[in-house]
Homo-oligomer: A and B are copies of this chain.
Amino acid sequence: MCRTYDGGVNASSYPSVPPDPLVEESDDAGDDRLGLRETKKRQTRLAMHRAAVELVAEHGFTPVTVEMIARRAGVSTRTFFNHWVTKDAAVLGVVPGESREIAASLRAELEVHGPRDALRHVLRDVLAGIPADPELRDLKKQVMSKEPRLHTISSGNLIEVQSELVEVLTEAMDGEDARMRAVIVVQVGFALTRSAFGFSMSTGMDLPSAYDRVIELYDAGLQDD
């Protein structure tokens, strides 16, 4: 592609924190403890995300311009880029931040489980943290299935997280090829996550369940085919 990316990253645990994984569901109503400013910010952000998904669902990715999205969301294009690193990010709802948090939870999991399972738990949590807005989810499903480009990007955006996780895992794995093995574990972990994503998209199953099913199939001995 083109333009300037720098990969914003994505998800993590859950609500509350200012540094937010994906677009959070904020209702016009609630949110009294967040301050007017923060509330408004989230509203506009959500508005943009919505607009982006809707428009892309209508016209496809390329034909939709940032200006169109901004207009529908009722903001200026400049504001648009104050919230989203790229046009893609807005469609996917990816807010930059989080790799650090994810790495932290991996570290925590490592106290309890081995590398592979620790990573699996973390990734599952991340998936579970992705909001399942009934409206948007269906739209997104359509969009993603028709716009393979977004898959690319979404996986691309994960790269920052990946390297962070590799670091953590490398520490935890001792022996000769610690780093190399860490890389493999992470790569395979993300491969399964991506599979779950696709599975979820095509079946409509929710992400965590899809993930579980994928793990199940994988462990069942896909090895031996």
A residues with a Cβ closer than 8 A to B are 1-2, 4-7, 62, 86-88, 114-116, 148-149, 151-153, 155-156, 159-160, 163, 173, 177, 180-181, 183-185, 187-188, 190-192, 194-195, 198-199, 213-214, 217-218, 222-225
Bound form: Cα–Cα A162–B192 in Å: 14
| Nearest CB of chain B from residue A182's CB, rounded to whole Å | 9
B2 touches A225 (CB 8 A): no
| Nearest CB of chain B from residue A138's CB, rounded to whole Å | 21
Question: Out of B88, B180, B198, which one reaches A183, CB within 8 Å?
Answer: B198
B2 touches A217 (CB 8 A): no
A195 touches B183 (CB 8 A): yes
B151 touches A159 (CB 8 A): yes
| Nearest CB of chain B from residue A67's CB, rounded to whole Å | 14
**Inter-chain contacts of A194 with B (CB < 8 A):** 187
**Inter-chain contacts of A199 with B (CB < 8 A):** 180, 183
B149 touches A181 (CB 8 A): no
Task: Return the chain B residue nearest A151 by Cβ.
Answer: B159
B185 touches A86 (CB 8 A): no
A1 touches B88 (CB 8 A): yes
Task: Return the chain B residue nearest A66 by Cβ.
Answer: B2
